[in-house]
Chain A
Amino acid sequence: QVQVVQSGAEVKKPGASVKVSCKASGYTFTGYYVHWVRQAPGQGLEWMGWINPNTGGTNYALKFLARVTMTWDTSISTAYMELSRLRSDDTAVYYCATGAAVAVGPIGVDNWGQGTLVTVSS
């Protein structure tokens, strides 16, 4: 049974960085891309990027290219998303999601973490 568990809520000051973790179990961690999606309060879903835990390859949405870093640790089946230079409009729930074995194709992601609320406030 696939499980994806994220780290707990964070409160950060503007200008700081946050690192959210995403631990997967129940499947071969290196077999699926890990995507990160965020959702600001009352807003829609915003795709941030993916990491391929098999190769370490990453692909980031242009909006986040300068501020986001996605990494992984295969030994503990955990992916990480770090967002730097936080602003108040980065306040959102951050989700990791997995289940797609390729970067493009007729595939979606069917295993989601519970979400991590990141609040940016002075």
Chain B
Amino acid sequence: DIQMTQSPSSLSASVGDRVTITCRASQSISTYLNWYQQKPGKAPKLLIYGASNLQSGVPSRFSGSGSGTDFTLTISSLQPEDFATYYCQQSYSTLWTFGQGTKVEIK
């Protein structure tokens, strides 16, 4: 299996901050990397697909970059509704895998 490792596991930030989350794959996955947001008690929501493509309806403050093994999710100006857990997920292999998640908390 391709292992996905996110960092940090959690972070505290304030409204308006720029936030960056990193995801590293155990082997090259081209740009077959997706990002999800999950709020407590809710199903995950697709934010970014193909490393840098914004899913329809997702605010433009979210952006993704990277290729190969290293990827980032950036929130340019954190909003109150962005406090949640974020997961990366690879779709390079027919056996998909998720990262362990990054919880974004209010400072």
Contacts and interface: CB of A to CB of B under 8 A. Distances in A.
A113 B49 CA distance: 19
B44 A113 contact: no
A108 B89 contact: yes
A103 B34 CA distance: 14
Interface in B31-51: 31-32, 34-36, 38, 43-46, 48-51
Given A104-B93, A107-B91, A62 B1 contact: yes
Interface of A: 35, 37, 44-47, 50, 59, 61-62, 95, 97, 99-100, 103-110, 112-115
Interface of B: 1, 30-32, 34-36, 38, 43-46, 48-51, 53, 55, 85, 87, 89, 91-101
Given A45-B44, A106-B30, 14 more contacts: A45-B38, A45-B89, A47-B89, A59-B95, A62-B1, A99-B46, A104-B93, A107-B49, A108-B35, A108-B36, A108-B49, A108-B55, A108-B89, A109-B46
20 contacts: A37-B44, A44-B87, A47-B97, A50-B96, A59-B94, A59-B95, A103-B94, A104-B93, A104-B94, A105-B91, A106-B31, A107-B50, A108-B34, A108-B36, A108-B49, A108-B89, A108-B91, A109-B46, A110-B45, A114-B43
